[in-house]
Amino acid sequence: MDFIHHGGVLLEIGLILIVGYLFGNLANFFNLPRVSGYILAGIIMSPSLLNIIDQEFLNKSNIITHASLSIITFLIGSSLSWDKVRSLGKSIAFITLGEAELAFLFVTLAMFLYFFLTQSIDIKMLIALSLLFGALASPTDPTATLAVIHEYRAKGVLTTTVLGVAALDDATGIMNFVLGYAIATSLVAGQGISIPHIVYEIVYQVAGAVILGIIMGYLMHFLGQFAEERKEVVTVTVGILFITFSLAHGLGVDELLATMTTGITLVNVDTENEKFRSPLENYIEDVIFTAFFVVGSAFLNLKILLQYLPIVIVYVLTRFAGKYTGVYIGGHISNAPDKVKKYLAFSLFPQGGIVIGLSLLAYQNPEFRDVGLILVNIVIGATAIHEFLGPVFSEIALKKAGEIEKKG
């Protein structure tokens, strides 16, 4: 495939879009959501198989994934008007707390038992590694679920709850990772656990992202008043989102929470917020979803998945068990509708690139040099399963809940 690589970055991007489009249509032919086709296209084109998308391209693909995530998370946030979520606020809060924390707990315990029974690892390192896996189990990637929701024009209480939980889940996932990572690092380094430092990190990352998102949401609203044509609105929206994501990255706060908060702010302060969302959904969204999932899936390595398959399965199953149990308990406490308690966990199954990034952060820490490779490989292997099955599970859940009107 060297001739493709000699063709340059534009050729690879063109192939990503066209092959992704064709595989999306193929997925539809087999009654699967388009995003499943995008993911399959990425795996086939990846360096581990056909090498159409080479490793050099992937190493420089941050601009694609960051641009895509800034728009996708904005769309999630802009779906959460106060009027829509007011009646579900209690359910969303309890369900998010339940599914995130029980996934953390279930995976931590399962990994501890698995490594204790199968590996010879120092007890401190064993606890630390288990905590890292548990912390990585909390976050959910809402991108695949959002793609299915938009493709099938899903509407209803389950759809709204999914979007609400996705908005809070990112913040909860940050808290769990900061907490788990800090304790794990302290254990391995033989240091005391600094509670004030942990609290500071959590507050800074979450509150900083929310404050930045609110400011940028108001700025988008202000500039949008001078944008009369649709093309001008697109320019303002995309420009503000790229700036928000970049500022969040530079400030060390969560980028996804910042851009999501921008959307939440806009939809609740601007009565004409639809003019910001509609152009993205009608003209840009499909390009974004195609590029994001094809490129993201190209990082996945089937050889790694097979090599670590037993522990990957343990991770995937215990994470889902934690999500399902947490959703049911949180839904029961908050008197959520039965279809939310039954089906929401399936829409929270996907887990993507953010956890790979977090696992790489732990891998780069010298304290975890002996086990870091195991951590990264298992997370990548689990991501392959989560990303491929996630859209299918989301579609099934929305259909069972009766919230898919028709194919878009």
Q: What is the pLDDT of residues 238-291, one digit of tens each?
A: 999 999 999 999 998 888 889 989 999 999 988 777 788 888 877 788 898 899
Q: What is the pLDDT of residues 111-128, one digit of tens each?
A: 999 989 988 888 888 898
DSSP H or E segment with residue 136: helix 123-137
| pLDDT score recorded for residue 408 | 44
Q: How far apart are CA 200 and CA 208, in angstroms?
A: 11
Range scoring the smallest mean pLDDT among 63-72, 103-112, 381-390, 391-400: 381-390
Range with top average pLDDT, 10-24, 64-78, 292-306, 374-388: 10-24
Q: What is the pLDDT of residues 69-113, one digit of tens each?
A: 888 889 888 887 887 777 778 898 999 999 999 999 999 999 999
| pLDDT score recorded for residue 5 | 64
Q: What is the pLDDT of residues 130-159, one digit of tens each?
A: 998 998 888 887 777 778 888 888 889 999
Give the CA distances from residue 314 to residues 176, 381, 382, 407, in Å, rounded to whole numbers and listed in that order: 20, 12, 10, 35
Give the CA distances from residue 124 to residues 175, 187, 195, in Å, rounded to whole numbers and listed in that order: 22, 6, 19
| pLDDT score recorded for residue 220 | 93
Residues 127, 190: contact at Cβ < 8 Å?
A: no
Give the tokens for residue 136: 């990585």
| pLDDT score recorded for residue 25 | 93
Q: What is the pLDDT of residues 156-213, one digit of tens each?
A: 999 989 888 877 887 787 788 888 888 888 887 776 667 788 888 888 888 999 999 9
Residues 124, 371: contact at Cβ < 8 Å?
A: no
Q: Report domain extents, the chain.
A: 64-292+300-400
CATH code at 64-292+300-400: 1.20.1530.20
What is the mean pLDDT of the segment spanning 288-310? 82
To the nearest 10°, report the CA torsion of 153, 157, 158, 161: 110
| pLDDT score recorded for residue 295 | 86
- The residue among 52, 19, 14 whose CA lies nearest residue 37 is 19
What is the mean pLDDT of the segment spanning 24-45? 88
In the 8-state DSSP scheme, what is residue 281?
I
Quote the mean pLDDT of the chain.
85
Cα Rg for the chain, rounded, in angstroms? 21
> Which residue matches tokens 């887990």?
351
Q: How far apart are CA 236 and CA 166, in angstroms?
A: 25
Q: What is the pLDDT of residues 348-361, one digit of tens each?
A: 888 765 676 677 66
| pLDDT score recorded for residue 259 | 92
Give the tokens for residue 20: 């992704």
DSSP H or E segment with residue 397: helix 372-400
Q: How far apart are CA 66 and CA 24, in angstroms?
A: 22
Q: How far apart are CA 320 and CA 155, in angstroms?
A: 24
Give the CA distances from residue 85 to residues 158, 207, 215, in Å, rounded to whole numbers and listed in that order: 11, 21, 22
In this predicted structure, the answer to whether residue 370 has a pLDDT above a threshold of 80 is no
Q: How far apart are CA 227 and CA 217, in angstroms?
A: 15
Query: Going by C-beta distance under 8 Å and a sequence separation of 6 or more, which residues neighbour residue 233?
Result: 224, 227, 275, 276, 279
In this predicted structure, the answer to whether residue 394 has a pLDDT above a threshold of 80 is yes
Angle between helices 123-137 and 89-118 (to 10 degrees): 150
Query: Going by C-beta distance under 8 Å and a sequence separation of 6 or more, which residues neighbour residue 86?
Result: none
In this predicted structure, the answer to whether residue 15 has a pLDDT above a threshold of 90 is yes
| pLDDT score recorded for residue 33 | 83
Query: Going by C-beta distance under 8 Å and a sequence separation of 6 or more, which residues neighbour residue 59?
Result: none
Q: What is the pLDDT of residues 55-64, one digit of tens each?
A: 888 888 888 8
Q: How far apart are CA 291 and CA 298, in angstroms?
A: 11
CA angle, 316 then 361 then 260, to 5°: 75
Give the tokens for residue 7: 């063709």
Residue 190: left if φ>0, alpha if ψ -120 to 50, beta else—which one?
A: left
- How many C-beta atoms lie closer than 10 Å to residue 325's C-beta? 17
Comparing 55 with 373, which gets the higher pLDDT? 55
